Structure 1
Amino acid sequence: MVTLTQLRDAALGGLDRAVAEWTDLAGALDGLVGRATTGVGGPLRASHWDGADADAAERALAARGEQVRVAAQEARCVLTVLDAAADQLRSARHDLLAGLAEAAAAGFTVFEDGRMEPADPTRGVDAAMVSRRHELEQRLAVPVRKATEVDTHCAEALARLYPTAAADWADTAADGACVMALAGLDLATIPKGDPVAAAKWWAGLNPSEQAMYLAGYPAVLGAMDGLPTEVRDRANRVALAETKVALLAELAAARAKRDAAGRTDDAKWRFRVTALKERLAAIEGLEATLRSGDDLYLMGFSAKDDGRAIVAIGNPDKAAHTAVYVPGTGAGLARIGADVSRMRSLWLATQQINDPGEVSTITWVGYDAPDTLTHAMSTSYADDAAPAFVKFLRGIGVSQGIDSNNHVTVIGHSYGSVVLGQAAHQSGGLVAKDIIVAGSPGMHVTRATDLNCHPRHVWVAAAENDIVTGMGSGAHAPAVDDGRRPRRVTPDDSEFGANRFTTDGANGHSEYWSSRHSASLDNQAAIVSGNYEDVRLLWGERP
């Protein structure tokens, strides 16, 4: 129990110093993960060491990295508890000192147990004096009682956070919820939907406050357009790990219910088990992708629907040239590795250009893509995706600094080009200098100028035997009648008014980023890096 004297004489600066030290520790642990990735993981991958021993080494490195990430998140929880204790004890002490001053002014001496007596023993004690003494004693008891409650709750929280070798992401999720309730941080105070407001809010927090929000709301921060990429990456990796642990627990429970169910209910639980295993396999695929390089940033993650992820190669906050790729039908966590691999090929192609500047290529699977070609005949998926995509692009600009947002290119493949077409008509349009579409079934416009972008900066790739451009045109290419016969104009038509570049050697619908037939890849690298004179055109006019 906290006494009046203890609260009166409390030196709370020690708690403030502890908060600062735990903040530094959390940052150091985050840095340790990064150094392990670049200093150990990078050379291992570069050595092309393979086999059972190499696989074991990779698993061991990943496991150690996870342990350090857990420790960093737990450190953020500890500093949140200490900071809450400091703030609440400081408030209680302020109230106590005010009450003590008032008691002294009223002519009372206050004892350690909170009792009061007149400072002048010769002074008579009348009914008014007795009433005033009782009032002041009650007032002083409130901050002491509050300090005792704070001390008890914080001690219980710190005991819960006591580190063990078995600590895992299930612990961090539960601990984060616990300390947020203790600290009184309100989710409603976090700005949503406005990248500029989000960036301003984050910049206004001190390092300890930032760490506290990372401890309690990683999924929220990871989804906030406008926040620095490194912050989103850290938050989303925590959200990813905590989601995986929660799904594993759900899978274990579903298996138990399946095994205990009778024949009537068995099928329901078998389907549930299968669905959970598929979601976990997709998450493990994303984890493998993130381990494949030391320059990858997880800018978005959700297990909703088929799963969503936004993965950047290179930090877009520091890039002179940024490409954002929107894949089409079938996109989701289950195939995120293949889509990121395409952007790795594009990033590598830009590095072959003389002095390309800092380049970042981003795979944006931030929407529920159609699962089948039948679903892809609907525009609804693109309608739902467009606002989120535009907000993401604006967030990139905010993170880079609006004035230094030098060059953003958006790339839409297949149904992804439909998303770009719908996004171009959102308020403010696409915040991009160049638009590239490959294998496009149509963008719901008949002219490049209708995309709110100069037509010289609209670029099109279409392989000769890509059947999607014709097959999907009935749904996504508007019909025009020039007096001859009604027809549909897709972006690869010369009448569309865009620059069509060569794709020599690319076969079908899926080789636009193939390094085996590099014409399409090299042309995109030239566009992304702003080397327009190197783009080989079938028709059109370079900027």
Structure 2
Amino acid sequence: MRRYKRTVVAVALATTVAGGTAGWASGGAQRAVTGAPPGSAAWRAEGVPGRPLPDPATADPREIAAFFRTLTPGRQRELAHRHPSVVGNLDGAPVALRYEANALAIRAGHDPRYLRLAAPGRQILAFDPRGRGQVAEVYGDLTAAPRVSVVVPGSDIDAGSFDRAKDPYGTPAGMAVSLRTATGDRTAVVAWTGYTTPVGIGLDAATGDLAEAGAGRLARFTQGLVAAGAAEPALFCHSYGSVVCGLAASEVNATDIVVCGSPGMRADRVADLRTDARVWAAKDPSDWISKVPNVEFAGLGHGPDPAGAAFGARRVPAATAHGHTGYFAPGTDSLRAFAAIALGESAGAGTTGESR
């Protein structure tokens, strides 16, 4: 009974402090945005001579890539202009075509919150205005770069805040830019806000419901990158984003899965992730996430600490990172190690327990 009470207390504490990147305000329940992108009904109703268009909800990214290869560039652009919200979010479609389609969709929406995303030079690979908004932006040449990384953020991130100026290294855009710069611009990096994140601190951050919805979207997104001709990516997963990556690990196309400031990956050890990717973990001494009990009970909490020796992840040094959002700050040992991993190297990163 005493052990049970300690567990309940630990879970209650996890519910109170797990998950956020932006503050300590209590968060309300979020409804995950999933399924086919806006405009899919009109897309399905149209076809090309002799065949239907691939269903955005069911077609495999490889099937979508193969379909677009059968079309002339003119026909591809015609579809993008007629159905920008679908083509812009269609995993497996040509990358440049998705950039063009999303710029059209953003301008057509006339939402002042998002018009900045259509500015010249921005490479928006996904955009969905439903809910709080989802977006993915590419830094670098995605299909030409020899190495690709994807940044998966934690709580309090959406299409309006993924590139905010405040606390930049706690945002996927800031992390992505910092990581690419640290590699000497030799990589392409995607800031992926492609799932509904928890807001503030509450049950959403302490449960895996939003992460489960996000895991499927992340797996499909990475499969779409490879189908469209990009290199298999390394995933850099921050805070609650590491829960998403843990649940997606067995399905994603990834060379590496790197977690930092993680409350847990919904697995007891690396082997339980069922992935061939190298798994890495970083946690700096000043990160408040250390106060979150690493338990999982009745659906609450996210399990053991991935940075703990028993978990078996390769350990990333983080002695000079500061706080929960300092892992990608320039000059830190964690960023130097992340850059080495992004380049396919291991310099500056050690191992703890088993490695894969």
TM-score, scaled to structure 2: 0.77
1:359 alignment counterpart = 187
Map 1:102-117 → 2, pairs under 5 A: none
2:270 partner letter: A
Change over 3 Å in CA distance of 1:412–1:317 after alignment to 2: same
Q: Distance in 2 between matches of 1:435 and 1:475?
A: 21
1:209 alignment counterpart = 75
Q: Distance in 2 between matches of 1:392 and 1:217?
A: 19
Q: Distance in 1 between matches of 2:104 and 2:297?
A: 39
| Matching of residue 413 in structure 1 with residue 246 in structure 2 | no
- Verify the 8 A CA contact 2:260 2:281 in the aligned structure 1: yes
- Verify the 8 A CA contact 1:300 1:311 in the aligned structure 2: yes
Counterpart secondary structure, 1:537 = coil
Q: Report the Cα offset of residue 302 of structure 1.
A: 1.0
- Deviation string, structure 1 residues 343-362 (Cα, Å, up to 9, x no partner): 1010000018xxxxx41111
| Matching of residue 196 in structure 1 with residue 17 in structure 2 | no
Higher helix share: 1
Counterpart secondary structure, 1:400 = coil
- Verify the 8 A CA contact 1:442 1:469 in the aligned structure 2: no
Change over 3 Å in CA distance of 1:303–1:451 after alignment to 2: same
Q: Report the Cα offset of residue 214 of structure 1.
A: 1.8
- Verify the 8 A CA contact 2:124 2:138 in the aligned structure 1: yes
2:322 alignment counterpart = 507
- Verify the 8 A CA contact 1:191 1:201 in the aligned structure 2: no
Map 1:68-467 → 2, pairs under 5 A: 189-192=53-56, 193-244=59-110, 247=111, 280-281=112-113, 283-284=114-115, 286-287=117-118, 294=121, 296-337=122-163, 338-351=171-184, 358-374=186-202, 375-400=204-229, 405=231, 407-425=232-250, 429-454=251-276, 457-467=278-288
Counterpart secondary structure, 1:440 = coil
- Verify the 8 A CA contact 2:208 2:299 in the aligned structure 1: no
Counterpart secondary structure, 1:460 = strand
Q: What residue ranges of structure 1 are gaps of 5+ in the alignment? A: 1-176, 248-279, 353-357, 480-486
Q: What residue ranges of structure 2 are gaps of 5+ in the alignment? A: 1-41, 164-170
2:4 alignment counterpart = none
Q: Distance in 2 between matches of 1:477 and 1:298?
A: 39
2:337 alignment counterpart = 523
Q: Which has the higher contact order (CA 8 A, sep 6+)?
A: 2
Q: Report the Cα offset of residue 474 of structure 1.
A: 3.6
1:444 partner letter: R
2:54 partner letter: I
Q: Report the Cα offset of residue 536 of structure 1.
A: 3.4
Change over 3 Å in CA distance of 1:326–1:184 after alignment to 2: closer
Q: Distance in 2 between matches of 1:495 and 1:184?
A: 54
Counterpart secondary structure, 2:143 = helix
Change over 3 Å in CA distance of 1:350–1:200 after alignment to 2: same
1:451 partner letter: L
In percent, how many aligned pairs have the same letter?
A: 28
Q: Report the Cα offset of residue 514 of structure 1.
A: 0.5
Length, aligned pairs only: 302
- Deviation string, structure 1 residues 297-347 (Cα, Å, up to 9, x no partner): 210001111110011111222221111111010110121214212110100
Change over 3 Å in CA distance of 1:488–1:390 after alignment to 2: closer
Change over 3 Å in CA distance of 1:383–1:348 after alignment to 2: same
